Amino acid sequence: MIAEDDEKQAELVRRYLLREGHTVTLVTDGRAAVEAVRHRAPDLLVLDVMMPRIDGLDVLRILRAEAYELPVLMLTARSTEDDLLLGLDLGADDYMTKPYSPRELMARVRTLLRRTGARAGGPGGGTAPPADEGLLTVGALVVDPERHEVTVDGGGIECTPGEFRILAAMAAEPGRVFTRQRLLQELHGYTRYIGDRTVDVHIMNLRKKVESEPKRPQRLLTVFGVGYKLVAPVAVAGHGDRAS
């Protein structure tokens, strides 16, 4: 689904998506985007920030509040880091600033669909990743790649696709220190034009969900000067790494 009020931009993206074999729905304002996601359950949303009626950031707020997990690639003429981080903080999976290369946009679309298993957009719906991955357990935190679910102390938590990819990668190798660059590769498959703070925002949001005290993390630890690692809380005692 494309949500873009600029007719030329929308038509350009539509043609490239059609060329790659996708079925495309086009809407031209934010309110129509929300309603279309609710009724059509797309696999991915290409979402412009500046749109009439409801802007793209508010569209994203509404969809994430309603637990729609579809990947969202945002397009914007704004290029400041604060704007980028705000979009990621609200649950965007990727962000491109205008003008952009249509070929790079298609590459990012392919990456998002591949890394989310082309999950459908409805709450709890969609095609799951391969079933042979099994449960990933780190103490009382359990990641289920097949069902795209995360539980902590027996309670379910909602993760954006980007947050889920980071958590699943770290849960597959508990105790391993992941650099920011490595986590960026898990998120996007490439690092061009994307800063390290993208990972920091995802980690901050994940801590709010998996930690009882996000400012004093017990699971998702910082290894200063290197990156992050995921451990069971019982493994923290006596460990030399500092957390933040």
pLDDT band at residue 133, thresholds of 50, 70 and 90?
A: very low
**Which pLDDT score is estimated for 117?**
65
**Which pLDDT score is estimated for 207?**
94
Is the full-model pTM beyond 0.75? Answer: no
Percent of the chain at pLDDT > 70 equals 81
pLDDT band at residue 224, thresholds of 50, 70 and 90?
A: very high
The mean predicted confidence, pLDDT, of the chain is: 81
Percent of the chain at pLDDT > 90 equals 30
**Which pLDDT score is estimated for 100?**
82
Distance CA 115, CA 186 (A): 8
Distances (CA, A) of 102 to 5, 99, 107, 108, 122: 17, 9, 9, 10, 27
Burial class (CB in 10 A: 0-12, 13-18, 19+), 138: buried
**Which pLDDT score is estimated for 72?**
92
Which tops the pLDDT comparison, 234 or 199?
Answer: 199
**Which pLDDT score is estimated for 243?**
46
Tens digits of residue pLDDT in 11-37: 889 888 988 888 899 999 999 999 999
Which amino acid appears at position 222 of this protein? T
